[in-house]
A = this chain, B = another copy of it.
């Protein structure tokens, strides 16, 4: 199923709110008319799906300029604690969607000189660091929960600006002080669509798994990765985060080509799993050109 196709009219979709965030823009592109459930954090989006308060969720996973979204990775790490199953409890990744992200400086006043504070989501502040360094070097960068909340803040304070989607200028009645202030053109965020059930394989899928390693065994990372090569599976990315289980103990995130229900992938995972610890398949998604 193509991710931009609507799934059901009455689906409920949790997203990082309020309306006007990039997560909202992504959610509407994927689901069209649906019941939207705004959440205050990425963790809350995932919990809302886990506790059946929404059918689906949309979470940012990585941005082409700023890298992996740490809050999402850390929530995934936490799902593994005290879960012996090799799939996360209550949700699975079932698709992905790419959104081209343009950041804009919004405010009540259009004079840059008067701006003492710039509000935005930490990721957006990072994605616009070069423009801010050059044009607003003295302004305080204040992280808030979402890009839409940044616009709300700017609405309350004449000496502040927010970095937000262009839609927020209308929603909150703000001026667009400067358009497209992101560090790199083609700034794109990759979102995962989260739900209860994995979708059918296509011929062009990707899978995300996570695992830890036994640090007492030298060579264990090489040994595990060699299994992917032995099974002819193309590795696309590896990340690591603190596992929360001890000093310098990491949770590895591995992305590769193929669907978790493909025979080839199942066979590879059967050999891979005994080589690692805390193994978990987070789900599969259709690969797309963006």
User: Which A residues contact B (CB, under 8 angstroms)?
Assistant: 63-68, 70, 122, 126, 140-143, 184, 186, 188, 190, 218-219, 221-223, 225-226, 228-229, 232-242, 244, 247-248, 250, 252, 257, 290
State which of B66, B70, B223, B226 has its C-beta within 8 Å of the C-beta of A242: B66
- Whether A242 lies near B67 (C-beta < 8 A) is yes
Closest to A63 in B: B242
Show 11 residue pairs from A and B whose CB-CB distance is below 8 angstroms, ordered by the A residue: A64-B247, A65-B244, A67-B70, A67-B241, A70-B126, A219-B229, A221-B238, A222-B233, A226-B229, A238-B239, A239-B239
Which residues from chain B contact A232 at a C-beta distance below 8 Å? 219
**Which residues of chain B have C-beta atoms less than 8 A from A219's C-beta?**
229, 232, 234-235
Question: How far is it, in angstroms, between the C-alpha of A68 and the C-alpha of B247 when the chains are bound?
Answer: 13
Q: Do A223 and B229 touch (CB < 8 A)?
A: yes
Taken together as a complex, chains A and B put the C-alpha atoms of A241 and B66 apart, in Å, by 8
- B residues near A63, Cβ cutoff 8 Å: 242
| Contact between chains at A222 and B225 (CB < 8 Å) | yes
Contact of A238 among B126, B142, B238, B290 (CB under 8 A): B238
Tell me if A240 and B242 are in contact (CB < 8 A).
Answer: no
Shortest CB–CB separation between residue A68 and chain B, in angstroms? 8
Q: Which residue of B lies closest to A221 (CB)?
A: B235
Contact assessment for A222 and B218 in the assembled complex, using a CB-CB cutoff below 8 Å:
no
A287 to B34, CA, bound (A): 54
A242 in contact with B141 given A236-B221, A257-B218 (CB within 8 Å): no
Cβ contacts under 8 Å, A67 to chain B: 70, 240-242
A35→B252 CA distance, assembly (Å) = 40
**A67-B70, A143-B141, A184-B244 are known contacts. Are A228 and B222 too (CB-CB below 8 A)?**
yes
A141 to B121, CA, bound (A): 12
Top-10 shortest CB links A-B? A222-B229, A218-B234, A221-B235, A238-B238, A64-B247, A225-B225, A222-B235, A67-B241, A219-B234, A67-B242
